[in-house]
Amino acid sequence: MQFAFNLSADRKLSLQNEVFERIRTMILDGQLRPGDSLPATRIMSDQLQVSRNTISLAYERLRSEGYLETRRSVGTFVSSQLPEAGLNAKLGSASAAPERTQSSFAGAIRPVRAQSLMNPHHDRLMVDFWVGRPDPRSFPTKLWSHLIAKRLLYAGANLTDYRQPWGQLELRQEIAKHLRPARGIIADPDDIMIIGGCQDGLNLVGRLLLRPGTPAVVERPCYQGAAYLFESLHATLFPVPVDAWGLNTMQLPDVSNAVVYVTPSHHYPLGVTLSLERRLELLTWASRTQSYVVEDDYDSDFRFEGSPITALKGLDRFDRVIYLGTFSKCMGAGLRLGYAVVPTAMREAARNMKALMNNGQPWLEQAAMADFMKSGHYVSHLRRIRRSYMAKRECLLAALSEHFGSCTVLGDPAGMHLAWHLPESLPLASKIEAAALKEGVGVYTPTSGCSTYLGEEGDSDRVLVMGFSSLTEKEIKLGIGRLAASIHGLNS
Ligand SMILES: Cc1ncc(COP(=O)(O)O)c(C=O)c1O
């Protein structure tokens, strides 16, 4: 038997490896079928002009990996144990395996939409009012590197062993201490889980509670990361409108065993705060309908007016709220660190699910964060950035009123962005977004800014969302000046 290959002149592999690879590929591609015989090593070495030893070693490796078998005194054959259906028989008969084309896989891949957290235009913008980005200058780099280095020195087996998937006890205890005064939540550290930010928490909740068709009540507009995740799990979405007092609880659907997703401290993207009356209505509804509420408290550390509002979780007497907090906004999204406070009844299942998902978050960052909190640096860091974001917010409000007169703005008492409701005299938000982009300024309609109306857009094109936290005051003034010029250009 002659073999239909020669060795390549431009050799990247050793001779032995090349023979091994060529024969292996012929088997996997179906050019050689189970039971086919191979030439004796001597004949093969003559044909390929390589030493017999090279061929013997290649055969030996193919044999040890299960591709070939030797029948004593008869010869060497392609292993008869290989399942023919697993091989791609290009020369095959009617019984051959299907061709490995794209279409044979296409049915198995579900289409998934993702939240757009990275602005595709960022690099070509002079001033970008993109939402939810901390100021990179605010990260406590020096202290953080010191804390990391110190923990590394004594890390021992912490870096090599698996740890509890629900997170380090020290950090959970610090979070419990923080949540009580900051958010009015009295949490048992055992009900706290360290997660990879709110998105990881949403996944955890989704995997625990959502089946195809489970009702998922979401805000309209809704943060894309939640809506698209629930959609990917085949939940049935019920968008409920948000007005100046937050989610309109009068319009909650007539369903039970649902999951409700809310951003009550600072609605994303419109910035409104869920009123106390509606908070209580929502909790009563959840208890009556045996539903769970997911409270995404992504930027609640920043409240500039009045005292911090007690979280829904802090008001929850029915143990129906899953609270999600994150270090992405007050420290940085690159840490991928956050926390969930789960109902006690959910504790065990949530811990097990976290293990199935990813075996927990990195030990080193958890340890450094625990030290950062324990030493009191976290509270002073929050105080410092809160002051700085408040000054930026005031600068933005002043610049808007300087160029546009009195503006209807929502969401400015808290958070890292605000929502400007455009007066009738100005063009549509999408037109302004496009014109500003040409001037090197990024401002966003709610749908460009990582939220979705789930196909019920309504009057969404009359709102611009504007983040201010990552900009300097100089940039904010420059940006609003250029925005005004671009709108003027549209009107003239
Ligand atoms: C409303 C909301 N929830 C969650 C997140 C994501 O947070 P994390 O980085 O903690 O996953 C964001 C990010 O911008 C957000 O706006």
Beta pairing partners, 237? 216
Cβ(314) – ligand 1 distance below 6 Å = no
Res 2: pLDDT: 62
Residue 435, domain CATH: 3.90.1150.10
In a domain, 1, yes or no: no
- Return the best residue to mutate from 193, 204, 223 for the ligand 1 pocket (most ligand atoms within 8 A of CB): 223
Question: Distance from the CA of 23 to the center of ligand 1, in angstroms?
Answer: 51
Instruction: Tokens 């959502």: give the residue.
Output: 210
Instruction: Tokens 């990552």: give the residue.
Output: 470
Which atom of ligand 1 lies at the shortest distance from residue 117's CA? 14
Which of 307, 301, 292, 247 has its CA nearest to residue 273?
247
Cβ(446) – ligand 1 distance below 6 Å = no
Question: Distance from the CA of 440 to the center of ligand 1, in angstroms?
Answer: 26
**Residue 314 and residue 385 in one domain:** no
pLDDT tens by residue, the chain, 492 residues: 567 777 777 666 788 888 888 899 888 888 899 999 999 988 888 888 888 888 988 898 898 888 999 888 889 999 988 877 777 654 444 444 444 444 555 567 778 889 888 887 888 899 999 999 999 999 999 999 999 999 999 999 999 999 999 999 999 999 999 999 999 999 999 999 999 999 999 999 999 999 999 999 999 999 999 999 999 999 999 999 999 999 999 999 999 999 999 999 999 999 999 999 999 999 999 999 999 999 999 998 898 887 778 999 999 999 999 999 999 999 999 999 999 999 999 999 999 999 999 999 999 999 999 999 999 999 999 999 999 999 999 999 999 999 999 999 998 888 999 999 999 999 999 999 999 999 999 999 999 999 999 988 777 799 999 999 999 999 999 999 999 999 988 877
Question: Which one of 343, 375, 407 terminates a domain?
Answer: 375
Q: Residue 75: which domain range?
A: 15-97
In a domain, 396, yes or no: yes
Cβ(134) – ligand 1 distance below 6 Å = no
Question: Which one of 347, 375, 403 terminates a domain?
Answer: 375
Res 445: pLDDT: 96
**Residue 427 and residue 352 in one domain:** no
d(CA 28, CA 212): 38
DSSP for 334-379, please give it: GG--EEEE--GGGHHHHHHHHHHHHS-S-HHHHHHHHHHHHTTHHH
**Residue 129 and residue 157 in one domain:** no
DSSP code, position 239: E
**Own/partner pairs for 83-86, CB < 8 Å, 24+ apart?**
84/33, 84/34
Res 74: pLDDT: 87
Q: By the 8 A CB rule, do 68 and 110 touch?
A: no
In a domain, 269, yes or no: yes
Residue 428 CB neighbours (<10 A): 15
Beta pairing partners, 417? 467
Token pair in block for residue 128: 């970008």
Res 86: pLDDT: 72
Question: Which one of 332, 348, 375 terminates a domain?
Answer: 375
Please state the domain count of the chain: 3
pTM over 0.85? The answer is no
In a domain, 237, yes or no: yes
Residue 81, domain CATH: 1.10.10.10
Res 94: pLDDT: 43
**Residue 450 and residue 361 in one domain:** no
In a domain, 106, yes or no: no
**Residue 327 and residue 408 in one domain:** no
